[in-house]
Amino acid sequence: MTGFDIVMVIAVILFARLGVRLLSRYTKMKQEQKDDSDQEDQKKTD
């Protein structure tokens, strides 16, 4: 493997980790928004 190949492998790994992190935070944020809206709906009906 040349130096360029090694750099490309490292870059792909880092971008994959970044994508997974962003996706997990996005789904967590969406879940929290859904929970918040559910709680607000329950307060309105009480």
Residue 39 is predicted with a pLDDT of 75
Q: How far apart are CA 20 and CA 14, in angstroms?
A: 10
| pLDDT tens profile 16-30 | 999 999 999 999 999
Q: How far apart are CA 16 and CA 8, in angstroms?
A: 12
The pair of three-digit structure tokens given for residue 4, joined into one six-digit string? 């360029």
Residue 45 is predicted with a pLDDT of 64
- Higher-pLDDT residue of 12 and 33 is 12
The pair of three-digit structure tokens given for residue 33, joined into one six-digit string? 């928004």
Q: How far apart are CA 34 and CA 45, in angstroms?
A: 17
Residue 37 confidence class, pLDDT cut points 50, 70, 90 = confident
